Chain A
Amino acid sequence: MTAKVIAACRHRGIALCLIYAVLLAGCASTRGTGDLGVVIERAAGSVLIVETSAHKRLAQISGLGDLSHASVVYSRDERYAYVFGRDGGLTQVDLLRQQIVKRIVQAGNSIGGAISQDGRLVAVSNYTPGGVKVFDAHTLALVADIPALYGNSGQRSKVVGLVDAPEHRFVFALYDAGEIWVADMKDAQKPIVQKFKQVGDQPYDALITPDGRYYIAGLFGEDGLALLDLWHLDAGVKRILPGYGRGTRKMPVYKMPHLEGWAVAGDDIFIPAVGRSQVLVVDQRDWQEVGRIAVHGQPVFVMARPDGRQVWVNFAFPNNDTVQVIDVATRTIVKTITPGKTVLHMEFTPRGEQVWVSVRDADRVNVYDTNDFAMVASLPAAKPSGIFFTARAHKIGL
């Protein structure tokens, strides 16, 4: 193509030369987004657009505000990333043009977000003022505001564990109130909210199973989890794994664990214990504990490889230089690796042959083969935290 442009410039004059040049530019920018993703650079307020096939950084985009504890959801065409910042910022990034499309600051302090089943709505869970705000995914115009009011004196709770659920619903938990709310968004401007109260002390995060049926909130204030069957809301919230610590003393927790739907491998759900160096295994057919695995420290992310054969675990301070791999069939640790100081997040490629690991204090993102655990690439990134690949676009709850 380039040779053709040069030849055209020589023999056919300026006009044709320009046409070829435009064609060339067009060719270069035509590509899919299925192997792209975003890496959060938390301290710099920037994100990297990365390509998983070639382990390449494609672009760095700055001006996204305070990205400590940032997370990302994707439009269903996998072209746009919605980045939720700590400072209430909601930024829509175009992965192809590699630029910010729109950015709003919609609250004082936020923790995460979700995109609706039909891709038309983006919801954000806020700490200050506590509640959920719902925006038009195209224009970022406010569609609905759901303040997390509880008690009798107009208090507002911090909101955690916000996920999308089938049948046009968003589900979330109220940390201060100990409640789970299900918002029916069929009429987006007038959400119908069903509240479940006294679900447990200090729900700190939640997951929805990949089939979109069960919502499970982890509790910080007590041993156990709160389970809601979204097919049978009338049955209410049930406690699972009650008293899993069996009265033993908790260790201090230096970083809150996270829950996401990826913890499900077959019928087993792998869940971080709170205040214990353990991963708990629950059988989702009867919600009984079927195992617990001693690990290196307080687990933070407990993530199943997409095929469900392995579960990868990272840890809270001061054990955060290590990642362990659990073999699901035997429920034993088959590999311990030390990527470096402060491993913050992991993300599998869509079919799981590799995993990307952010190592904050090394300013690196390392890529490992999940079969032989060899490091296959390492990319520079400034204080990297969350890694989010576009395959999330088509997963319920992610």
Chain B
Amino acid sequence: MLTRATVIAWLVLLSAPVLADPPAPRQQELVNLVRQDCGSCHGMTLQGGLGPPLTAAALSGKPAEYLRGVILDGRAGTPMPPWRPFVSESEVRWMVDMLKRGAINDR
């Protein structure tokens, strides 16, 4: 039997745009996160540092799904930490798309 709470939960889930971009202010926060905090290992202009470069050219051979997994869960055996506590899966989808298009540095 459906309780009122589960009905409401389903309605909320169904009405949420699944692949929508994050709202504009959050996009700015995410760009800042990539440039400044990812940048502390990958370079502020993403040309690389202790971590590898994250330019469009450097990422071109890597599937988006793999990159999303690396950001969310980190890479064992390397200093890359999991960012899951700070970003949602849909936000990571947007970040990877931006990175692969080389669009972070334009923002």
| Pair A69/B49 contact, Cβ less than 8 Å | yes
Residues of B29-67 at the interface with A, using a CB-CB cut-off of 8 Å, are 36-37, 39-41, 43-45, 47-50
A220 is an interface residue with CB less than 8 A from chain B: yes
Verify if A295 is at the interface (C-beta below 8 Å from B): no
Interface 9-residue window, one of B8-16, B19-27, B74-82, B90-98: B74-82
Residue of A nearest to B80 (CB): A252
Docked-complex contact A256 and B40, CB < 8 angstroms? yes
Q: Are B37 and A109 in contact (CB under 8 A)?
A: no
Question: Do A86 and B49 have beta carbons less than 8 Å apart?
Answer: yes
Give Cα distance in the complex from A175 to B79, angstroms.
12
B81 near A66 with CB under 8 A, answer: no
Interface residues on A, range: 20 to 34
- A residues in contact with B81, CB < 8 Å: 252-254
Of the candidates B39, B41, B86, the one whose C-beta lies within 8 Å of that of A318 is: B86
Task: Decide: A66 near B37, CB < 8 A? Known: A111-B49, A127-B49.
Answer: no
Residues B37 and A68 in contact, CB atoms below 8 Å apart? no
When C-beta atoms are compared, the residue in chain B nearest to A87 turns out to be B47
Whether the pair A175, B37 counts as a contact (CB closer than 8 A) is: no
The answer to whether B48 touches A128 (Cβ under 8 A) is yes
Closest to A205 in B: B50
Q: Which chain A positions have C-beta within 8 A of B86?
A: 318
A317 touches B37 (CB 8 A): yes
* A-B CB contacts (within 8 Å), total count: 59
On chain B, the residues within 8 Å of A383 by CB distance are: 36
Report yes or no: B49 in contact with A109, Cβ–Cβ below 8 A. yes
Docked pose: A175 CA to B52 CA in angstroms: 13
A256 and B43 alpha carbons, distance in the complex (Å): 13
**Which of A43, A204, A220, A254 contacts B44 (CB under 8 A)?**
A43
Q: What does the 1/0 interface line of A218-233 toward B look like (CB < 8 Å)?
A: 0010000000000000
- Evaluate contact between B79 and A66: CB separation under 8 angstroms: no
Main SS of chain A's interface residues? loop
Is B45 within 8 A of A66, CB to CB? yes
- Shortest beta-carbon distance from B80 to chain A in Å: 9
For B36, the chain A residues whose CB sits under 8 A away are 342, 360, 383
CA distance A299 to B23 in the complex (A): 33
> Quick one: which of A132-172 are within 8 Å of B by CB?
158, 160
Give the Cβ gap from B91 to chain A, nearest Cβ, in Å: 15
Given contacts A204-B50, A317-B37, contact A252 B45 (CB under 8 A): no
Contacts of A111 in B (CB 8 A): 49-50
**Is A42 engaged at the interface, CB distance under 8 Å to the other chain?**
yes
Residues of A314-367 whose CB lies within 8 A of B: 317-318, 342, 360
Cβ of A97 within 8 Å of any chain B Cβ, yes or no, is: no
Contact A86 B37 (CB under 8 A): no
Q: Find out whether the CB atom of B37 lies under 8 angstroms from the CB atom of A254.
A: yes
A69 partner residues in chain B, CB cutoff 8 A: 40, 43, 49
Q: Could you tell me which residues of chain A, from 203 to 256, have a CB within 8 Å of some CB in chain B? A: 204, 220, 252-256
A256 touching B47 by the CB < 8 A rule?
Answer: no
Let me know if A66 and B50 touch, CB within 8 A: no
Given A220-B79, A252-B74, A254-B81, A175:B40 Cβ within 8 A: no
Q: How far is the CB of B47 from chain A (nearest CB, A)?
A: 6
Q: How far is the CA of A195 from the CA of B107 in the complex (A)?
A: 45
- Given pairs A68-B44, A253-B81, A254-B81, 8 additional interface contacts (CB within 8 A): A69-B49, A109-B48, A111-B50, A127-B49, A204-B50, A252-B82, A255-B37, A360-B36
- Give the 3 A-B residue pairs with the shortest CB-CB distance, closest first: A252-B81, A68-B44, A255-B40
Please, could you name 22 A-B residue pairs with CB atoms under 8 Å apart, sorted by A? Answer: A42-B44, A66-B47, A68-B49, A86-B43, A86-B44, A86-B45, A86-B47, A87-B47, A108-B47, A109-B43, A109-B48, A111-B49, A127-B49, A158-B50, A175-B50, A204-B50, A253-B79, A254-B81, A255-B37, A255-B40, A318-B86, A383-B36
